[in-house]
Structure 1
């Protein structure tokens, strides 16, 4: 039926324009979507295999044919949940998760407070040697973290914190990278609000806590999540300063499980299931705070 006849039947005086059902897609957009799909497959492929293999028996893990779901020789699908129960029991997931959560949360909170305070000081306060101190601090970012292992361990020993959860927190209560990002964000904020508060008699800390910090919530959320994830995944430093199993973190527990799995192929399903269990909390955190992460990154990209 033509548009003219349809307009007459519906008593429409103004011509009705019918939109096409399918929009024409440009070749550039097709190439873009194809490229993004390829990147997604490359990034998600190993994790999909990890989750699939965590439900398999050891003989099926080394099979040359990949199947999305575990299958027996007769083609029937099965799921070996014993891998997860064995991995959780070996990892002592409850106590290790509590240790990891304490270290990550406490370090993140103190890190954000100190780094935001330092960033605001470099951005707003004027004191002798400010720019020189900031430049020297930035140069420390060029030093590899492994070079600082021995000096940090000596300091931890002198403080009497060796083989304790405190040893996992103290070296990471400050971060030059976070200070730099906080300083750049505070520099982008308008000075008028702070100047009016100072005229009303507010001190610098009051201005920082009541005015600057509420405006810096998006970047604080992003840095807080990244700091939490870094401390959650940290393996090398706990390996150096922790000896007692009761002070292990999930990263150390997973490392011990991997070492045990190397001695026998029968332990490979436990190792893979343990890797899924350890990574699951981070996936949940990212899913819950995805909008805040993107918002903070956009704010940092526009204003920083």
Structure 2
């Protein structure tokens, strides 16, 4: 006998009102996305306006007479009596951010591995203190931070800008939680082969922590790039100004008279580009929780 042919499963039939409600949902999400993007679009459009046009038409998305005068002034191309040291701000922010990001990734991962795997007296108390530090608002520590930097002679220097930010409690917590998810069999196999604690951390466990390391790198880069209060209390001279402190002085009118909306918004738009590029390139690692690796038999 011929076996009966198998019929392909029929596609589920959506209810009558499912498609309209789905369209309403997509429309609502798209509207909220446009509402979120609108301020940034206005910011970019205003940066290409003249000052009279920005004052007369602040919310228009297309300049009446497009111009790049604001960007030319920021990069020193245009001759202006009121110069803006944007390149110096950009250089300071780049140097400090790279140093802080590298230090945080190294020290936070080392501290997280120690809390997750090493047995030493006071480990639980140290972890409780770590959680307590995360609960303290950063504003509360501004005056003590200034006093400590001034006492150690680090005030108004690159060391005072970088060293206090090299270790972050949230980063240690992230790395500790990830290292606890790594199978212990991997470390035990490496320990049988004669590897010490640091060798296991550096050569075995750390390569498996790539998703957590990239997440920590993005968070550290974004946090140090956008840092304002720490740089405000750790520096005084204009030569140490970063993008955040320099833009604050520019917005407050410290570098000239008038509103200068195109100039301010052009500087603000340029300062967001590095963080946006980094986030969109590595955003998938924020939701990737699986780690790579194998158990040696």
Same fold (TM over 0.5): yes
Q: Name the TM-score, length of structure 2 as normaliser.
A: 0.84
Alpha-carbon distance, 1:63 to partner: 3.2
Please give the residue correspondences for 1:1-304 in structure 2 after superposition, counting only pairs within 5 Å.
26-63=19-56, 66-71=59-64, 78-89=65-76, 90-260=83-253, 264-287=257-280, 289=281, 292-299=282-289
Gaps of 5+ in 2: 1-10, 77-82, 292-297
**Counterparts of 2:188 and 2:150, CA distance in 1:** 46
| Change beyond 3 A, Cα 1:231–1:182 | same
The two structures, once aligned, show a CA RMSD in angstroms of 2.3
**Counterparts of 1:276 and 1:92, CA distance in 2:** 16
**What does the per-residue CA deviation read over 1:30-77, in whole Å, with 9 as the maximum and x for residues that have no partner?**
233223212211211100000011111222223358432112xxxxxx
Kindly tell me the number of residue pairs found equivalent between the two proteins: 270
Larger helix share, 1 or 2? 1
Gaps of 5+ in 1: 1-18, 72-77
**What does the per-residue CA deviation read over 1:208-259, in whole Å, with 9 as the maximum and x for residues that have no partner?**
0011110111111111111111111111221222111111111111111111
**Counterparts of 1:33 and 1:258, CA distance in 2:** 38
Structure ID, larger Rg: 1
| C-alpha contact (below 8 Å) 1:261/1:268 kept by paired residues | no
| Change beyond 3 A, Cα 1:32–1:157 | same
| C-alpha contact (below 8 Å) 2:112/2:179 kept by paired residues | yes
